Amino acid sequence: MCRRVYINCSFDKLAESFSFATRGNVDDLGGRVPRYNGAPAEAYHIIIQDAERQRERPKPAISIARWGLVPSWMDRPRRQPPVYARCEDISSNELFHDAYRSRRCLIPVSGFFEWLDISGTGKKQPYAVAMKDRSMFALAGIWEVWRHPAGIDIRSFAVVTCPANEMMAPIHNRMPVVLRAEDYGRWLSSDPNPRGLMKPFDDDAMMMWPITRRVLTVRNVGPEVINPVDLSARQVSQ
């Protein structure tokens, strides 16, 4: 679950929505935002507590990372690095516990996708999930830096997940941890175990709608992939 996200605004708008984080020299990923069908293995903007460049008084800063966590101690990345980390065992799983204690991040998005298995058909119906007011929000994440044998540091991240809220439960039993704006500071802080933040988000503030199955193909990247479809009329695009 939570293997696709979308960002329906420019990098300038993203930076404005999270203006508490310094922008530095980070760019728009070569024009790859807006992005309407973001998948793992791609690069994204994340927000970290930048202790490397600001050692005395670390501040939140926008950075770039690849989706799919590679712990620093690994000799080589897994063929399919983990893209999400379950909140229930994040503090004990060897892949995640170091990053969880000291390298947490915010992942700015406009929305994410989830799929409903259609019983007896072998097909899945995708749904988009966003805020009712269409504002950007942040998913909870963890990050690492892995040094490539060529001497290149590669930053990567994974999305933290929790049980689904009531809105999403009919579609899937899990959802990404969505953080409230007032909790951003604590998630980025030096608190080694902000476990109380890893919980289902208030479903009254969220909305969900069925979208075309074209989103299943990562090559389909246009804004039309998040347009609602009428399931009752069986107009789901193939």
Which pLDDT band, with edges at 50, 70 and 90, does 67 fall under? Answer: very high
State both tokens at 93. 């799983």
How many domains are there within the chain? Answer: 1
pLDDT of residue 53 exceeding 60, the answer is no
Taking alpha carbons only, the member of 162, 166, 62 closest to residue 105 is 62
Distance, in Å, from the CA atom of 175 to the CA atom of 100, rounded to the nearest integer, reads 18
Q: Which of 36, 204, 34, 46 is nearest to 133 (CA)?
A: 204
Radius of gyration of the chain (CA): 18
Asked whether residue 140 is domain-assigned, the answer is yes
CATH number at residue 13: 3.90.1680.10
Assigned domain for 122 exists:
yes
Residue with token string 């994410």: 112
In this predicted model, what pLDDT tens digit does every residue of 76-123 receive, in sequence order?
A: 888 889 999 999 999 999 999 999 999 999 999 999 999 998 876 778
**Residue 108, phi then psi, degrees to nearest 5:** -70, 130
> Which residue pairs, CB below 8 angstroms and at least 24 apart, start in 164-169?
164/200, 165/200, 165/201, 165/202, 165/203, 165/206, 166/203, 167/203, 167/206, 167/208, 168/114, 168/129, 168/203, 168/208
pLDDT average, residue stretch 184-197: 96
SS3 call for 69: coil
Q: Residue 187's CB: how many other CB atoms inside 10 A? A: 22
Q: What is the model's pLDDT at position 3? A: 87
221: in domain: yes
Q: pLDDT confidence of 51, banded at 50, 70, 90?
A: low
**Comparing C-alpha atoms, which of 138, 137, 134 is closest to residue 207?**
134
Residue 190 within a domain: yes
Q: Please indicate, yes or no, if residue 234 is contained in any of the structural domains.
A: no
Q: Is cis: bond before 126, omega within 30 of 0?
A: no
Question: Which structural domain, as residue segments, surrounds residue 46?
Answer: 5-226
What digits encode the pLDDT tens for the residues 17-50?
999 999 989 999 999 999 999 999 999 999 999 7
Is 135 a domain residue?
A: yes
